[in-house]
Chain A
Amino acid sequence: MDSEYFFELLCGGLVKGSIYALIALGYTMVYGIIQLINFAHGEIYMIGAFVAFIVSGVLTLTGYGGPTVLLLAAVIAIIYAAAYGYTLEKIAYRPLRAAPRLSPLISAIGASIFLTNYVQLAQTPDFLPFPELITDFDFMEPFSRYVSSVDLVILVVTTLTMIALTVLIKYTRVGKAMRATQQDAVMARLVGINVDRVISATFIIGSALAAIAGVLIASRTGQINSAIGFMAGIKAFTAAVLGGIGNIPGAVLGGLVLGIAETLGAGYISSAYEDVFAFGLLVLILVLRPAGLLGKAVKQKV
């Protein structure tokens, strides 16, 4: 139980948590705008990983390799996942916009099952080896005990992505429209915001983030299959609730807390109970702070 071991676990948890955070952002953004838990979000992540797998496979066959392939695979995965997210909302959620809240939730679960089985039938139910596209950096050699080169790439990419997302939400026109819609959808329409388009944009952005997470995690674990979306989706959903669903910084915090707690629990107690720590933490937070860690930060006078 030396401090070095602790630090090692902490780094591992941070890497895991940042991936959870990336997926959790999609949950929380969608929830913030249409109060829907998009249970098919994990499948979008899985599809992102699959597209990256196919693209990198094809490119490797043609003789390319390394970071260029990764970048290209990631870009195409993002475009595909965004298209899936956009279509998912149009087909599964938009027709149920005026329906009771339970209906789109059931539709979400249906979409999730459909997408898992669709990939399973169209591709394979087996685990597929994801190519090693991130080669070890020489300068990482002394730190490799704590953070591998892949982990470094994950941390850098997730940090940059989150900064980009913050800028997008804070300063761009679509970002302001998203915030306005989240805070008051009727008023958003009254100032001329096309709420349908904002909802589409939210699904596109959330799906793109999930695809990035999919490519990163596949590069780390080295294998994918059609069922990886389920657990990742549930974990990221837990992270979003942990941080306060609908709250964007909360999703990031929730992801990191979840990742670290899980890794520490697995490292010090038993790795067999990894998931127990994750969901136990969720129960604990929901009992002590039902709105989540950062839920309801700003009070509103009436």
Chain B
Amino acid sequence: MRKEVIGPFQLFAMIVLFELGTAVVVPIGLESGHAVWISILMALPGGILLYLVYAYLYRQFPDLVISGYTRKILGKWIGWPLSLLYLPVLTYNGSRNLREAGDLLISSSYDRTPIFIINCIMVIAVMYILYQGIEVFSRTAEIYFWVIVLMGLIANFVVIIAGLVQFKNLFPIHPGEWVEALKSAYPNIWIFPYGELVCFTAILPHFNSKHKIGRTGVGAMALSAFLLSFTHAVEMSVLGEDIYSRTTFPMFTTITLVNVANFLQRLDALVILTLIIGVFFKMSIYCYAAVSIAADLFHVKEPRRLVIPVGSVVLYSSFVSAENFPLHMNDGKVFLENILPILCAVIPVLLFIVHRIRRRFGWYK
């Protein structure tokens, strides 16, 4: 069978969709108050450095997913169990995205539909596209990149022309608030959404132009950071700090306020579509990463056969992991602060250092 490949723009589109995914709809970095948009930009350099670590490891081992080179670098006995850790974390994080999308749909319009049905439909779509393979998936991303950018522009544009933006909700930023912004940028925003790019270590082996890896990824991250920061700034300026911090989905609340000339109103569908598309891609990438790492660890020749089991686990854990949405958010905080940083930052950086040392001293056989 021919090896599946993806091109630079497809990777670019996938990274942007992945970054925007849920982060554009749910509130992030609450601790920083009205300076959240600055926090997002502040976290970008750290995110880029982290990405460059992933890219470096990819260039060293262009054919291996993360579990593959973990075993190469740290040896089979440490590498195998360490990579096994990625499986539950990736599936759980995928299920968190699914849960958030399901909950927004239920609390915004489908109040009588069981969450199981809604999540099920989304998981079926994800399983289908993964079954088709990464190439089909990346071409889909290419198309939806434009759809998301267009919808984002429309949504922001109508909010601005509706005259809802109040700059006084964003400025001034006092000295103490810069520090707060920095604190919420590192590690929280640095890990979510930038650090989550660790999933792409499973996709990069399919990338077809090795020398463009740095440029494509950094460009995509910068674009998504800009879009995220802008969207959150608009949300904050419309809602004010108080409502922004209390609402479960600030973007949804923002868009419901839009009323242009008693004609353009009720644009909620835009937000729901944005979330569904974003979650679809984010979840698919998580599932794909879980599938390829599992396939690599357990020597499954045909990774496709793992799509259905992984999808089912994601679906199941999406609604058994937390009783209700507030608990889900609390779990998320613990998860983000204690578990994700280890997998997104500590392990890759460790791999990077160990690899450099081993190469420097020629400890590879």
Decide whether A and B assemble into one complex: no
